[in-house]
Chain A
Amino acid sequence: MAILELSGVTVRFGGIVAVNQLDMKVEEGTIHGLIGPNGAGKSTVFNVLSRYYEPAEGTVTFDGRNLLQYQPSQVVGLGIARTFQNVELFRGLTVWENLMVGQHHNIRYGMFAAALGGLLPRVRQAEQEARDRAMEVLEFLGIAAHRDAYPQFLPYGIQKRVEFARALVSRPRLILLDEPAAGMNPSETEELAQLIKIMRDKYETTVLLVEHDMSLVMSICERITVMDFGRKIADGTPAEVQANPAVIKAYLGEEEVEAEHA
């Protein structure tokens, strides 16, 4: 069953069409890759799913619900969490506190409860659950030792894991990874591939991933959607996509252009 379905989604910025009539289905429990040359519109799609960009046309259905009627801050509560292309952790917050922010959508209490804080059992229980969940995820990702560190002082690879952790603590049914392998060397990328697979299995989630590193995409994705100039040009299994002439043309064409500029 498709957990996420985009149909005829078009995003325009002024006169530029960034995403053009995109249809895409992500099946529940899969690792789904969204690839394409630079400027193909992949990140725009993520920003539509985060409700940061408003599509001009089309529908987005998540888990049977019309995603487009929700506010950006409600998206996490629906079960969609994301990481960012350039790690977006809060610098003034420790690793642990960053994970607490990731669970804020779960907290439903008003001002007086907030002001009284730990004095109310209801609030205390909610906060205790948040802490338990955060600890479990930190241990799963092997970064529990860094819980009280400020993220900006940690190695880049660890920062990426912290961002994963912040997404995971929100109990997502769909997790959006925006270029998770950017800036990683081949052995780190291999480790990341394993991590994504284990994460999907352990937390029974669905993964949608934008990535330039083809070795990562081809090794872990079960389905792949390929975009070029805002349009979908192919989708299918890694083998099908790799054999697709339109895909080969899009990628080789880009390489030729790059070669000319070099």
Chain B
Amino acid sequence: MILAQQIISGLATGSLYALAALGLVLIFKTSDVVNFAQGEMAMFGTFIAFTLMMKGGVPYWGAFVLALVFAAVFGMLIERIVIRPLSTAPLISVLIATLGLLNIINGVAGWIWGYDPKPFPTGISGAPIRVGGLVFTLPTLLNLAVALVLMLAFFALFKYSLMGIAMRAVAENRLAARLVGVHTNRVLAITWGLGGILAATAGILIAPVTTLSINMMAEMQVKAFTAGVLGGFTSLPGAVVGGLLLGVLENLVGQFIPQLKTPFAFALIVLVLIFRPAGLLGTVQRKKV
């Protein structure tokens, strides 16, 4: 029973990792860019929601939605101002640029909102649900549900909608996509907008656990990368499965040696890259040369 409860609490943390990983995977899948600034985009969006609630008196869900709108615009601006001018630069330049963005967004957020951690409210509260001897808190259930719904929604978007199919075409061969009439810049802008929305969603759901601060995503982002790698980095279901698995494994490790939780995540990245580079649900990427 203790083991089962440990697994449930692992799923709770894991759903947060999954949420953070979804945006990373979405952007990587479509544009080959590993966005190191994804976590800071999440943090910034969460501060926007916080400011709307505290200073603007906007209720929780209103602030949530407005923060998502902001995050979408923010994501598209990043694509337009930073990523698009680098579209012909080597990939490593883009990676360095997103690392730069990480520090810029972090620094600006500190300048605006200061460096003290702030408590952040949850979307739902109430008595935990008990099933048998197991305890489920409401925020945990909400996080799990949001992660699963977003995963399914984006999976369907990629699989069935014209926009999603175009995103996959752009991901595979940007030039060929352009020559058959795909407005690749628009597709990439939309990808980054959606990436921004995923980031802010993750941030707002994570903040009650980590408390809101400019460094709230620092550790979370490492976990999101692990979740992504574990799942294959091109697979949205993989990101969710990877996140949940990481949460559970980490919790079990942490029960015996709490200090090794974070080293465990890094060890997992290295091991997966060595023994199963395509991840659990990813497909091997073969680029045409």
Residue positions of A touching B, CB distance < 8 A:
50, 52, 72-77, 81-82, 84, 88, 90-93, 97-98, 100-105, 107, 110-111, 114-115, 117-118, 123, 126-127, 130, 166-167, 170
Is B118 an interface residue when CB atoms closer than 8 A count as contact?
no
Give chain A's interface secondary structure class.
helix
Cβ–Cβ contact B165 & A97, under 8 A: yes
Contact between B157 and A115 (Cβ–Cβ < 8 Å)? yes
How far, in whole Å, are A117 and B160 apart by their CA atoms in the complex?
9
B181 touches A88 (CB 8 A): no
Within 150-185 of B, Cβ neighbours of A (below 8 Å) are at 156-157, 160-166, 168-169, 171-173, 175-185
Closest A residue to B187 by beta carbon equals A104
Among residues of A, the one whose C-beta sits closest to the C-beta of B179 is A50
Interface residue? B193 (CB, 8 A): yes
Q: Check B166 against A104 for contact (C-beta < 8 Å).
A: yes
B94 at the interface (CB under 8 A from A): no
Cβ–Cβ contact B165 & A101, under 8 A = yes
Instruction: Give the Cβ gap from A171 to chain B, nearest Cβ, in Å.
Output: 11
Complexed CA–CA distance, A73 and B178 (Å): 5
Q: B122 to nearest A CB, angstroms?
A: 25
Q: A76's closest neighbor in chain B, by CB? A: B181
Is there an interface contact between B157 and A76, defined as CB atoms closer than 8 Å?
Answer: no
Query: Which of B168, B172, B179 makes the CB contact (< 8 A) with A82?
Result: B179
A111-B68 Cα distance, complex, nearest whole Å: 13
B: residues with CB less than 8 A from A are 72, 76, 156-157, 160-166, 168-169, 171-173, 175-185, 189-190, 193-194, 197, 286, 288
Contacts of B164 in A (CB 8 A): 117
| B180 CB contact (under 8 Å) in A114, A115, A127, A166 | A166
A164 to chain B, nearest CB (A): 12
Cβ of A127 and Cβ of B162 under 8 Å apart? yes
Q: In this complex, which of A81, A100, A114 has the most chain B Cβ atoms within 10 angstroms of its Cβ?
A: A114
Q: Tell me if B's interface is mostly helix, strand, loop or mixed.
A: helix
Which residues of chain B have C-beta atoms less than 8 A from A103's C-beta? 162, 181
Q: What is the bound-complex CA distance between A196 and B166, given in angstroms? A: 27
Closest to B169 in A: A101
A40 to B160, CA, bound (A): 43
Contact status B163-A73, CB under 8 Å: no
List 19 contacting pairs A-B, 8 Å CB cutoff, sorted by A: A73-B184, A74-B183, A76-B180, A84-B176, A92-B172, A93-B172, A100-B162, A100-B165, A101-B177, A102-B181, A104-B181, A105-B183, A110-B190, A111-B193, A111-B194, A115-B194, A117-B161, A118-B160, A170-B181
How many A-B Cβ pairs are below 8 Å? Answer: 104
Point out the residues of chain B lying under 8 angstroms from A92, CB to CB: 168, 171-172
CB distance from A103 to the nearest CB of B (A): 7
Q: How close is B275's CB to chain A, nearest CB, in angstroms?
A: 24
A-B residue pairs, 6 tightest by C-beta: A76-B181, A105-B181, A114-B163, A117-B161, A101-B169, A111-B190
A99 to B212: give the CA distance in the assembly, Å: 46
Q: Contacts A76-B180, A81-B180, A88-B173 known; A104 to B162 CB distance under 8 Å?
A: yes
Bound-complex Cα distance A70 to B231 (A): 41
B169 and A90 contacting across the interface, CB-CB below 8 Å? yes
Q: Are A111 and B157 in contact (CB under 8 A)?
A: no
Name A102's contact: one of B72, B180, B183, B197 (CB within 8 Å): B180
Partner of A101, one of B166, B175, B197, B288: B166
Residues on A with beta carbons closer than 8 Å to the beta carbon of B182: 73, 101, 104-105
Minimum CB–CB distance from A105 to chain B (whole Å) comes to 4
B55 to chain A, nearest CB (A): 26
A97: chain B residues at CB < 8 Å are 165, 168-169
Known contacts A100-B162, A111-B72, A127-B161; A72/B179 CB under 8 A: yes
Q: Give the interface centre of B189, B190, B194 by most chain A CB atoms within 10 Å.
A: B190
Residues of B within 8 Å of A117, CB to CB, are: 156-157, 160-161, 163-164
